[in-house]
Amino acid sequence: MSALIHVESTAADPVDFWIEDAVMRIGSSHACNLTIASADLDEQALTLRFKDGLYSVINRNRAVVRLGEAHLEPHATAPWQPGASLCVGSVTLTLLVEGDPSPSPRPSDKAVIEMYQRRAKEERVRLKEAAEEEQREHPVAGGDESAPQVAPRMQLLLGVGMMAAAAALLVGVVLVLLMPDGGAERLSWNHPKNLGTFLLQYSNQLPRDLASELQAANQAIELDNRDLARHRLDRLSLTLSRLDHDAPLEIVVGEKRVGYAVDLWRYINYFQTKYAAKR
């Protein structure tokens, strides 16, 4: 369904670039499909190709680049597997694939978010049915010595399922980065990383559970605690998915009523990607 290149460098904030063409040039020149301002890249440093369901990359840089654990000499070609990182000096590019890896036009923010909200909702229904089936197979009877073992089993089933639903939702939300913004009544941000602190200034206008989850996630991010941040971002994404499905999420800024759901998805995705990339 989609393929992206996640770009990290010391000179700029991380960003995701949607792959729309079967042949794509990457370099420091503005003539390239993907332009990265870095002295480590030649004007056309790399060529990305998609053929027979697989991606490959040609090193057109003057220096050796690292692809995964291997080194790619100038003018050499190698397959680029999903999840593998390609390093050129201070620039790291990671190929991300969800579903069909073929290059494709970028959908709208709304279409992507609605699709993954629908998948998350279907997953929650499936988990509820699985929990009910578990209860039917292991009924809790009064005085039954096995009863204390049933609740942990159901909690584990629901817990694992909720994490899977959150992971699926977050993989989808990564697709909204670098897409065109829709509508004038939207918060406007050059970068999502400061959005959490800004929205908490309007916490009295946010749904109580959303404000609580956002504050918890923001605190973990400020502490730079990777595991805690990922856990709290998962919880925040599930809460946002539920609320965003029910009604438009808006706050009053000045004299305008503006929506913040898409921007909050970008905030979640930015930090989820950041902490997932750490080793």
Residue range 93-113, pLDDT digits in tens: 999 887 788 998 876 666 656
pLDDT at 57: 96
pLDDT at 14 over 80: no
pLDDT at 140 over 60: no
Rounded average pLDDT over 216-244: 86
Average pLDDT, the chain: 77
pLDDT at 279 over 60: no
Q: Between β-strands 250-253 and 256-259, what pairing exists: parallel, antiparallel or unpaired?
A: antiparallel
Q: Between β-strands 34-35 and 65-67, what pairing exists: parallel, antiparallel or unpaired?
A: unpaired
pLDDT at 155: 55
Quickly count: other Cβ atoms within 10 Å of residue 35's Cβ: 16
Higher-confidence residue of 147 and 159: namely 159
CA distance linking residue 224 with residue 36, whole number of Å: 27
pTM > 0.85: yes or no: no
Strongest mean pLDDT among 114-118, 151-155, 168-172, 209-213: 209-213
Strongest mean pLDDT among 12-21, 28-37, 101-110: 28-37
pLDDT at 183 over 70: no
* Dihedral sign, Cα of residue 160, residue 163, residue 167, residue 168: positive
CA distance linking residue 10 with residue 158, whole number of Å: 40
User: Poorest-confidence range of 39-48, 57-66, 113-122?
Assistant: 113-122
Q: Which residue has the tokens 């003018």?
A: 75
Cα separations (Å) of 143 from 136, 139, 140, 146, 241? 17, 12, 9, 9, 39
- Residues contacting residue 9 through CB under 8 Å, at least 6 positions apart: 36, 38, 90, 91, 92
pLDDT at 177: 39
Assign a CATH topology to domain 2-98: Tumour Suppressor Smad4 (2.60.200)
